[in-house]
Amino acid sequence: MPSLYITELPAWPSYITELPGVPTGYAANLVMCTTLPALATQVIAIGTLSTRSAPFNAATRILRIYADARCSIQVGDPSSVGAGVSNHLVPPGLPEFISVPAGSALAVVDNP
């Protein structure tokens, strides 16, 4: 069964100054990168019915999501969030980074 892979990350951007050739200054040091180790990871099966993740860690602000099949996602209250095919489309094979409210959850559904 296809899966959606979720990596929970703290706030960013990360400020990188150790790389040769990176200009100095506030804006020049903003580099899109993940902070590892991750706060948590989850794998959710993608099916024809909406499936919810566990609630995110209180420190989670960014998710890196990766789907191995076309699906739709929705972020919201862990007790009620549900995904439908009209929600945010996640194409297979392309990682995405999304900002989320603390304590929220994500729902996923197949979107053929």
Which residue in 29, 32, 51, 33 sits closest to 110, CA to CA?
51
**Looking at residues 91-106, what average pLDDT do you find?**
91
Count structural domains, the chain: 1
**Looking at residues 98-107, what average pLDDT do you find?**
92
Residues 43-95: tens digit of each pLDDT = 999 999 999 999 999 988 889 899 999 999 999 999 999 999 999 999 999 99
pTM for the model stands at 0.79
Length of the chain (residues): 112
Q: Which domain holds residue 32?
A: 3-110
Choose between 98 and 28: higher pLDDT: 98
Check residue 10 and report its DSSP letter.
Answer: -
* pLDDT for position 12: 59
Percent of the chain at pLDDT > 70 equals: 78
